């Protein structure tokens, strides 16, 4: 068995070198049927996205070795045949028992039990996938590389297709350009030092998302926006989605921000999924909502309230949205139209599209009306009633 394992790992090393991946595998050490695990080292500056995995997911040497065995199985025909030689079952993919013997040795190991388990990093972050027959013995359960890791091997650096309901927010304004009422900005700044769920409540368009994204940029982090309305209604589907979100955030060193958190509250036949947010996104995570979310949390979240802006703050926003207006006119607009920051920005863009060099009150009224009409469309239905005798 020792000779077979060595042949397998030799082909794995050859396969990774041919692929041009920046990680190289050291030769196995030890004697007998239980060799020490391979240790991975950086040969040169990493050039392939797959080289991010070890550091960003905190993988152990044996977890890294397992990934390389599975990568070689996918991409190298010779390594694939060598690995299949170790299978004791007539299956195409390597079995869990085969990988365990190749990576950890034939003797039982607590590290193997934990790292190959459901809560191990490789399965927790969906880097590898096991067959659906979870109750089958180890020598019949198969394991394979996730398509996400395979995409990284080929140099793919975009978001995984599984998270179509999420996107990076790289276009928000700098936090210094925002108008935020009260102590909300200071509270959000303090939240970045914590490692917990932060719920930001406020009206639509009050700048919750922009404030989070702006502060994240200041801290050198990206924000991954997740639409709570797009999270699956069944718990299994929601668990898978949030697990993939956690993987993408770890991979890109991003902070998850869940919009419409209240959409995950159970109602009628729809199960509650808020506990899944706690379970699958245990680190720093922001969530926005327009109404209070009342429940018994396993770990109490931090709450930040986005209050309404003052008249002076709205006037400054009008001056930025319409540079042509005077401060006096901006004060009047702030009094007449106490809109949310996002609506003021949208109204300013609409006004500038309609006017030339000169901004008139009619231009402003038309721009505001167009924005409000767009936001109100669909909230009501016109009903016509006719009666005959």
- Residue 174 and residue 36 in one domain: no
The number of domains in the chain is 3
Residue 45 lies in a domain: yes
Is the pLDDT at 198 greater than 90? The verdict is yes
Q: What is the mean pLDDT of the chain?
A: 81
Does residue 15 have a pLDDT over 50?
yes
Q: Are residues 6 and 146 in the same domain?
A: yes
With a CB cutoff of 8 Å and minimum separation 6, the contacts of 114 are 120
Q: Which residue has the higher pLDDT, 127 or 178?
A: 127
Residue 226, Ramachandran bin (φ over 0: left; ψ between -120 and 50: alpha; else beta): beta
As a whole number, mean pLDDT of residues 299-324 equals 87
Quick check: is 387 in a domain? no
Is 386 a domain residue?
no
Statement to judge: residues 177 and 315 lie in one domain: no
Q: What secondary structure, in 3-state letters, does the chain show?
A: CHHHHHHHHHHHHHHHHHHCCCEEECCCCCCCCCCCCCCEEECCCCCCHHHHHHHHHCCCHHHHHHHHHHHHHHHCHHHHHHHHHHCCCCCCCCEHHHHHHHHHCCCCCHHHHHHCCCCCHHHHCCCEEECCCCCCCCCCCEEEECHHHHHHHCCCCCCCHHHCCEEECCCCCCHHHCCCCCCHHHHHHHHCCCCCEEEEECCCCCCHHHHHHHHHHHCCCEEEEEEHHHCCCCHHHHHHHHHHHHHHHHHHCEEEEEECHHHHCCECCECCCHHHHHHHCCCCEEEEECCCCCCCCCCCCEEEECCCCCHHHHHHHHHHHCCCCCHHHHHHHHHHCCCCHHHHHHHHHHHHHHCCCCCCHHHHHHHHHHHHHHHHCCCCCCCCCCCCC
Q: Are residues 244 and 193 in the same domain?
A: yes
**Is 246 inside a domain boundary?**
yes
- Report whether 282 contacts 250 (CB < 8 A): no
Query: Does residue 358 share a domain with residue 231?
Result: no
How far lies 19's CA from each of 54, 80, 254, 308, in Å? 18, 15, 28, 56
Same domain, 193 and 252: yes
Shared-domain flag, residues 141 and 176:
no
Within a domain: 228 = yes
Which pLDDT score is estimated for 338? 83
> Domain span at residue 344?
311-376
> Which of 276, 305, 334 is the endpoint of a domain?
305
Which residue has better confidence, 388 or 277? 277
* The last residue of a domain, from among 153, 174, 203: 153
Residue 220 and residue 241 in one domain: yes
CA 132 to CA 109: how far, in whole Å?
A: 24
333 and 275 assigned to the same domain: no
Do residue 21 and residue 144 come from a single domain? yes
255: which strand partners?
Answer: 223
CATH at 185:
3.40.50.300
Do 291 and 322 belong together in one domain? Answer: no
Residue 37 Cα distances to 100, 143, 388, angstroms:
11, 19, 88
Give the model confidence (pLDDT) of 36-91 as tens digits.
333 333 344 445 677 788 889 999 989 988 898 898 888 888 888 888 888 888 88
CA distances from 336 to 84, 172, 212, 313 (A): 75, 27, 29, 14
> Which of 113-117, 203-207, 217-221, 377-381 is the least confident region?
377-381
113 within a domain of the structure (yes/no): yes
Q: Is the pLDDT of residue 137 over 60?
A: yes
Given a cut of 70, whether residue 29 has pLDDT beyond it is no
What's the burial of 211, exposed, middle or buried (CB within 10 Å: 0-12/13-18/19+)?
buried
Domain boundary among 125, 153, 181: 153
Same structural domain for residues 107 and 227?
no
Mean pLDDT of 243-257: 94
Please state, in angstroms and rounded to a whole number, the distance separating the CA atoms of residues 175 and 164: 27
- Closest of 223, 243, 224 to residue 232, by C-alpha: 243
Residue 350 lies in a domain: yes
Is-contact 149 126, C-beta < 8 A? no
pLDDT at residue number 17 = 54
Quote the tokens at residue 224. Answer: 């991954």
Specify if 388 maps to a domain.
no
169-178 pLDDT per residue, tens: 888 778 888 8
């Amino acid at each position: 068995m020792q000779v077979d394992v060595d042949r397998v790992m030799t082909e794995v090393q050859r396969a990774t070198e041919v692929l041009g991946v920046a990680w190289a595998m050291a030769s196995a050490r030890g004697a007998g049927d239980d060799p020490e695990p391979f240790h991975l080292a950086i040969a040169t500056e990493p050039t392939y996205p797959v080289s991010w995995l070890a550091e960003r997911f905190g993988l152990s040497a044996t977890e890294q070795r397992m990934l390389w065995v599975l990568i070689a199985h996918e991409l190298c025909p010779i390594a694939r045949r060598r690995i299949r030689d170790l299978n004791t079952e007539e299956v195409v993919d390597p079995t869990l028992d085969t990988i365990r013997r190749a990576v950890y040795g034939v003797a039982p190991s607590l590290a193997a039990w934990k790292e190959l388990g459901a809560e191990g990093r490789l399965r927790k972050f969906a880097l590898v996938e096991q067959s659906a027959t979870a109750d089958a013995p180890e020598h019949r359960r198969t394991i394979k590389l996730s398509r996400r890791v395979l995409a990284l091997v080929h140099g793919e650096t975009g978001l995984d297709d599984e998270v179509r309901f999420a996107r990076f927010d790289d276009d928000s304004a700098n936090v210094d350009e925002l108008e935020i009422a009260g102590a909300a900005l200071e509270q959000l700044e303090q939240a970045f030092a914590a490692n917990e769920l932060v719920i930001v409540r406020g009206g639509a368009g009050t700048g919750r998302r922009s404030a989070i994204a702006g502060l994240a940029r200041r801290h050198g982090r990206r924000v991954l926006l997740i639409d709570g309305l797009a999270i699956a209604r069944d718990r299994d589907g929601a668990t898978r989605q949030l697990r993939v979100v956690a993987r993408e955030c770890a991979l890109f060193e991003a902070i998850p921000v869940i919009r419409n958190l209240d959409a995950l509250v159970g109602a009628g036949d729809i199960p509650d999924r808020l506990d899944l947010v706690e379970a699958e996104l245990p680190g720093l995570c922001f969530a926005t909502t327009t109404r209070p979310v009342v429940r018994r949390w396993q770990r109490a979240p931090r709450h930040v309230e986005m209050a309404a802006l003052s008249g002076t703050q709205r006037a400054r926003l009008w001056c930025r949205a319409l540079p042509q207006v005077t401060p006096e006119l901006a004060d009047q607009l702030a009094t007449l139209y106490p809109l949310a920051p996002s609506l003021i920005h949208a109204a300013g863009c609409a006004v500038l599209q309609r006017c030339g060099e000169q901004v008139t009150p009619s231009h402003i009224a038309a721009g505001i009306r167009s924005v409000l009409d767009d936001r109100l469309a669909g909230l009501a239905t016109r009903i016509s009633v006719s009666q005959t005798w």
